[in-house]
Structure 1
């Protein structure tokens, strides 16, 4: 059977729409197991749904795990990938390399235990066990099946010194601390120790971002959390100088709370998985400051128009999930920072 030539970014796997479209924007992908020469097939062990996607599915089905599981199965069966049709996001996975095409340049070998560092929203995916071991109530999804990596996909071998589940949680958000460290480093190179405010500071990407900010030379670090129980998680960890309990969707409430904690921030990092935080983040950031949006719940049009409407001279960055060396950097933060590691291990126990 003749097939179209492979594309390093996966164009050859796009089934719908008929016109050329990148896999992330496609409605349906070819997830058949037969490889093109530059592809790699992964035998799946665990999927990790991104926080915004899981929250949307869980709220839609009022916490009914069976209904969430059924919808995830339907999405994958229909689209050939795990891409939430509302949030547009997916997650990532861990598994074992099953076959490597002869022209693959990813440096993987059969039997390697790996985490994919590209989104499930663009990864051809087949589930074969009906997610029988998943109750639909957590982001971490035990699963069997296969996934396909393209010529320009990214994967990392899981470290021997950390549990696979811990490594998966870290790698799922590893783009956030790497970019925060880069931006803080830009300020530090100019002799500025910036005030950094992290919305969602007790979460996975938020806590790693706080650790990265300290590592890169930040001055004051402000963590914003929505509830007292999350503030308690950060208390005594040293990850933040101030922990603020505030609604990140409230423009005046958030900006006033951040100001009282030593703001406005030179750098604001948005790591919450709920919509409506764009304007509050803008008002909490100093003129000439930087906002990094890592949440897939962000409305980027609202961010751009909100900054214009508030006459806010702020640089706004989209955290695209990839910075060279991001996985290794995040894993080193976990190894070297007992406080952030404790937060992650506590999530696993929970």
Structure 2
């Protein structure tokens, strides 16, 4: 099917500006409310939604706010979507992503999708027009993955990936939700490795804070494949340490609360640090100082958590006189989806940790 432009007065824009209701002049991610009409502009795609995946920081905030009351969590998610025309947690500013089936394709859509394709979106729900039509009646409010029926709109510059036939949709969604982390980790570590090999110096030590989680386990696998001399997985509890050790994804597993800068730095040091590259994959605030303190001079800290505070990171590095480069992972690196899926297929330890979460 193809679509006609639903408006003769508003031209479509590949970034989705034409869907912004308020305030005028901002991109969809910054908007307070989006236009969710089902009729498509010619460069858009409509997806029949099957499942949402709320990002970890958003879900944890809702869980804390409502003391684990699933009904209250479900009600707030519905209210957010109805009010804003998208899923964007007002507290964390984050959203998640979705799985669904292509329902209609505009005649000038550049995404290469066809009606009937099962896809996962690789852009955030914070900028995706979304309508929920079943009141989330199949969701108990107690997990990040949300069975749902409704529709969503993709723009000309949106990104989506077809779901592999050899993997369950739930598993694919979990991987795609964090696929930017291993791709950027691999890129940064490879740059360190190339410089070290050219200079005849030791290859980098990589520490991943939150190493037993989704983005953390993939980042550990990516760092090892990129040639890291040593990988350190940091986890907060003995149970997670046991899981990570059994998965065999890290050369050393360190126990520390990432919110305690001294304890985190000490644990990384005892495990073979400081790290040349530190990857932050935890979904709680207050981890900036410990990550910086755990990183060697001229090292790099990559923040993949939506709970990261820019001011805390910038001022923390300044206050510690830390000569480190700090990167914010934006969730997109060319080829990131295929790369993450290859890590899942190639590392039994990664797949086991993901399947355990499901």
- Given the alignment, which residue of 10, 16, 19 partners 1:13? 19
Report what 2:95 is aligned to.
Answer: 90
C-alpha separation between the residues in 2 aligned to 1:226 and 1:144?
A: 36
Shift in Å, 1:237: 2.3
Gaps (5+ residues) in structure 1?
Answer: none
Report the 3-state secondary structure (helix = DSSP H, G, I; strand = E; otherwise coil) of the residue aligned with 1:236.
helix
**Residues 1-350 of structure 1 correspond to what in structure 2 (within 5 A)?**
2-17=8-23, 19-190=24-195, 191=197, 192-348=202-358
Report the 3-state secondary structure (helix = DSSP H, G, I; strand = E; otherwise coil) of the residue aligned with 1:3.
coil
C-alpha separation between the residues in 2 aligned to 1:117 and 1:82?
A: 14
Shift in Å, 1:3: 3.4
CA contact (8 A) 2:288 2:313 kept: yes
C-alpha separation between the residues in 1 aligned to 2:215 and 2:45?
A: 28
Report the 3-state secondary structure (helix = DSSP H, G, I; strand = E; otherwise coil) of the residue aligned with 1:320.
coil
C-alpha separation between the residues in 1 aligned to 2:50 and 2:239?
A: 32
Structure 2-normalised TM-score? 0.96
**How many residues are paired up?**
347
Structure 1 vs Structure 2 CA RMSD: 0.7
Shift in Å, 1:312: 0.3
Shift in Å, 1:300: 0.9
Report the 3-state secondary structure (helix = DSSP H, G, I; strand = E; otherwise coil) of the residue aligned with 1:45.
strand
Report what 2:4 is aligned to.
Answer: none
Alpha-carbon displacement from aligned partner over 1:313-346 (angstroms, at most 9, x marks no partner): 0000000000000000000001111111111111
C-alpha separation between the residues in 2 aligned to 1:342 and 1:48?
A: 19
Shift in Å, 1:188: 1.1
Shift in Å, 1:242: 1.0
Report the 3-state secondary structure (helix = DSSP H, G, I; strand = E; otherwise coil) of the residue aligned with 2:247.
coil
Report the 3-state secondary structure (helix = DSSP H, G, I; strand = E; otherwise coil) of the residue aligned with 2:142.
coil
Alpha-carbon displacement from aligned partner over 1:36-57 (angstroms, at most 9, x marks no partner): 0000000000000000000000
Report the 3-state secondary structure (helix = DSSP H, G, I; strand = E; otherwise coil) of the residue aligned with 1:187.
helix
Report the 3-state secondary structure (helix = DSSP H, G, I; strand = E; otherwise coil) of the residue aligned with 1:105.
coil
Shift >6 Å, 4+ stretches: none
C-alpha separation between the residues in 2 aligned to 1:35 and 1:289?
A: 47
C-alpha separation between the residues in 1 aligned to 2:18 and 2:333?
A: 26
Report the 3-state secondary structure (helix = DSSP H, G, I; strand = E; otherwise coil) of the residue aligned with 2:18.
helix
Structure 1-normalised TM-score? 0.98
